[in-house]
Amino acid sequence: MKINGVEIEDTFAEAFPIKIGRVLITAIDEYWAGIAATEATGFGTSVIMCPAEAGVEKFIGPEDTPDGRHGVYIQICHMSEKGLEQQLLARIGQCVLTAPTTAVFDGLPDSELRFDTGNKLRYFGDGFEKKLEVYGKTMYAVPMMEGDFLIEESIGYTDGVAGGNFFIFGRTQPSALMAAKSAVDAIRNVDGVITPFPGGVVASGSKVGANRYKFLKATTNEKFAPSIKNEVEGSEVPDDVTAIYEIVINGLTEDAVKEATRVGIEAAVRVDGVVKISAGNYGGKLGKYRINLHELF
């Protein structure tokens, strides 16, 4: 299969279940909403050595938020409920409550799975906090130096999907990179997904475990490493390829991850010097979800 002249390999991305908490941050303008969201989702690329996977999902305008201010949805992802609860508490408490002009709303009001994150964070008020019914929601107002911080009583989470992915093969590194950036820009228009790696892009696609250094959980995916293609038996780097980037996608549902994969690939193949699209899997042995590239188009 080819799209815009670029080969789409007949393979699938293998993805995994993960717990996802979704938070709506509002603030005085887009800049400060973005600042809080960025701080709260930093150090959050992969659960291998980060305390969570996290990312900015999308910005929304004042017409679409409960308090008529500028909003941004973030997602925090963890393998365990306990871990997710702790990460929501720490990231909201340290990176959103502390950020100028923010308020925090539940980003999954329809979910039955919930943490009482707001109820826990209200203790920062040291007895001066107040419970309010406002915007049709139960909120706490916590008096602080900037004024009152408002947070909804509970935050919803869901059984989501992690590790959706595709690979972009480039004749030059900038071709693969600009295609990756274009894909990430495009995926930002899809509801319900995040691309948790730096700027949405993975430079260091990995394999599970190691051939040589057995003490590691993940090491370089040497079959896709262009600089050693002549040293590695069974290298999957085509002759004319000097760089490969991976886009990793987490999302609230498998459908959202599929849609993001489709939209991302369609953007990537418009970029000069992109020669192939593929995806990463473990032969279907590890993950619950299979996203077959050819079925997306």
* 52-81: contacts with its own copies (CB under 8 A): 54, 61-63, 67-70
- Tell the smallest beta-carbon distance from residue 291 to its own copies (Å): 19
Taking each helix axis from N to C terminus, what angle separates 254-268 and 173-187, rounded to the nearest 10 degrees?
140
> Which of 133, 137, 130 lies closest to 155, judged by CA?
137
Choose, by CB under 8 A, the member of 40, 139, 249, 279 that binds its own copies.
Answer: 40
Beta bridge partners of 75: 22, 55
Site string for its own copies, 213-252 (x = CB under 8 A): x-xx-xxxxx-xxxxx--xx---------xxxxx------
Q: What are 15's two structure tokens?
A: 């993805």
Residues 226 and 244: beta-carbon distance below 8 Å: yes
Query: Given candidates 90, 113, 132, 238, which one binds its own copies under the rule CB under 8 A?
Result: 90
Q: Where are the alpha helices (DSSP H) in the chain?
A: 30-41, 81-95, 117-121, 173-187, 254-268
Q: Of the ranges 132-140, 153-161, 200-208, 287-295, which one interacts with its own copies (CB under 8 A)? A: 200-208
Backbone angles phi, psi at 204, to 5 degrees: -135, 50
**C-alpha dihedral sign at 81, 209, 91, 16:** negative
Query: Per CB under 8 A, which of residues 255..274 are in contact with its own copies?
Result: 263, 266-267, 270-273
**Intra-chain end-to-end CA distance of the chain, in Å:** 10
**Residue 15 three-state SS:** strand
Enumerate residues 129-188 that contact its own copies by CB under 8 A.
Answer: 141-149, 167, 170-182, 185-186, 188
Candidates 77-85, 109-117, 131-139, 208-216: pick the segment binding its own copies (CB under 8 A).
Answer: 208-216
Residues 112-131 that bind its own copies (CB under 8 A): 123-128
Report the nearest approach of its own copies to the CB of residue 289 (Å): 22
- Per CB under 8 A, does 199 bind its own copies? yes
Residue among 99 and 257 whose Cβ is closer to its own copies: 99
